[in-house]
Amino acid sequence: MKKTSSRLADGRELIYYDSADAVVRDAVDRRPLDPVATDSELRHDRLLGDTVAIASHRQGRIYHPPADQCPLCPSKEGRLSEIPAADYEVVVFENRFPSLTGSAGRCEVVCFTSDHDASFADLSPADARLVLDAWTDRTRDLSQLPGVVQVYPFENRGAEIGVTLGHPHGQIYAYPFVTPRTELMLRSLAAHRQATGGNLFDDLVAAERADGSRIVLAGEHWTAFVPYAAHWPYEVHLYPHRRVPDLLGLDEDARAEFPHVYLELLRRFDRIFGDGQPPTPYVSGWHQAPFTGLGDYLDDRRDFALHLELFTIRRSSGKLKFLAGSESGMGAFINDVPPESAALRLREVASK
């Protein structure tokens, strides 16, 4: 993998990731951009104990532009975009409208391919491996920034999810705090250790593999399953067999197998509801151990288990699961699809 770092016209960092060392990236951003002005602010909720980012500048971000004005496509004469090059493989750049800024973290955009009409599921295994390597490299670099506590690479796909740019892309959030979801995991991890002396992640994965009814697919180095208490209609968790705290810890065998496993999962998601249905909207993200701020929960961050969570808000053909009063107001989820039925369906739509 070759990494080439440059700057956009307003000073934001842009990084090309290429599979061939011979590729030269010297295109210059010729847009007359003013310096980015942001006013992100973190506020602590004393009642709930979590943190909220106030980012009013995001009201001006680009919203569902026509395909011929996509800011994530390569630049060409007469249409300059966020990517100065005429073509690219994988690109990462600082978000122009970040939720987290300066000493309050960092937000980046990851473009998986220059093909506007593709999706992650359309990538080749080699292309998906390059994205994995880019995620890993960004995790390493972002974790070293002052104040960054946790790094979360993720993808939102589909207008139903709230995506405002159709080009295949994801984001990376570098949080200056431990997120509420991770803190809940850490509490459960610590309580399980105190009660049993074991590792909760290891025991959960072992239990799912032993039961088998919720396993979606298993390789030599990865296992994907629908969790016993899935929150979403179709929700899959993907774990490496060797517990590691973050993407940096994956060995070459796990890295080599991941593209095949993940691409198969994404392609199955698009087949859940049958032929002729629009692409399945989903959220997919990597849960990694915080780099600092573990507090009283862990003696060693290696007790945390890297895993990927993939879920859709579509519950049946043409129907979405909206977060209604119980979920939005109280955080108490109600799932219409039994996890065992979801796992069975995801096995039924396996590639031939």
By annotation, the residues acting in catalysis are: 169
The set of residues, in sequence order, having a beta carbon less than 8 Å from that of 204 and lying 6+ positions away, is 227
Pairing type for strands 13-18 and 307-312 reads unpaired
Q: How far, in whole angstroms, is CA 270 from its chain's centroid?
A: 18
- The rounded distance, in Å, linking the Cα atoms of 46 and 49 is 5
